[in-house]
């Protein structure tokens, strides 16, 4: 009987971890060098992470000039490009990333 209780409590721990993982955002921002457009995109996405996703965001900034293999693997054809890997569904934002409302809506952080 005690063993069943332990398994049950372990299951709720697993569910808690799964819920926590669902709230975790994994973002990849692809830029091309340090152009003004790239810098603005980096600043805006970092601001969103700091203000809306504090401690729940893993943001990778990838310069396609320095790491072209990563860009090829994700089939990046234009920059800046933001990819939301987690939580599902996968989303891609291409081009002007300064429209904060559009990004928040696409990341499911703002109501329509």
Nearest of 66, 110, 111, 57 to residue 84 by alpha carbon: 57
Residue 110 has a pLDDT of 82
State residue 111's pLDDT score: 74
Residue numbers of the chain with a pLDDT score lower than 70 = 1-22, 112
Instruction: Render pLDDT for 4-17 as a digit per residue (tens, 0 to 9).
Output: 444 444 555 444 44
Q: Which fold has domain 19-106?
A: Glutaredoxin (3.40.30)
What is the pTM assigned to this prediction?
Answer: 0.78
Task: Cis check for the bond before 15: say yes or no (omega within 30 of 0).
Answer: no
Handedness of CA 74, 89, 49, 45 (dihedral sign): positive
- Number of alpha carbons in the 13 Å side-chain half-sphere of residue 51: 10
The residue extents of the domains of the chain are: 19-106
């Amino acid at each position: 009987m005690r063993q069943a209780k332990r398994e049950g409590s372990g299951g709720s721990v697993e569910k808690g971890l799964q819920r926590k993982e669902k709230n975790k955002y994994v973002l990849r921002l692809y830029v091309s060098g340090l152009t003004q457009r790239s810098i603005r995109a980096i600043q805006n996405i970092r601001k969103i992470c700091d203000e809306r996703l504090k401690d729940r965001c893993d943001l990778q900034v990838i310069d396609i000039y320095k790491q072209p293999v990563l860009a090829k693997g994700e089939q990046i054809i234009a920059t800046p490009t933001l990819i939301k890997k987690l939580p599902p569904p996968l989303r891609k934002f291409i081009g002007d990333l300064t429209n904060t409302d559009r990004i928040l809506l696409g990341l499911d952080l703002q109501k329509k």
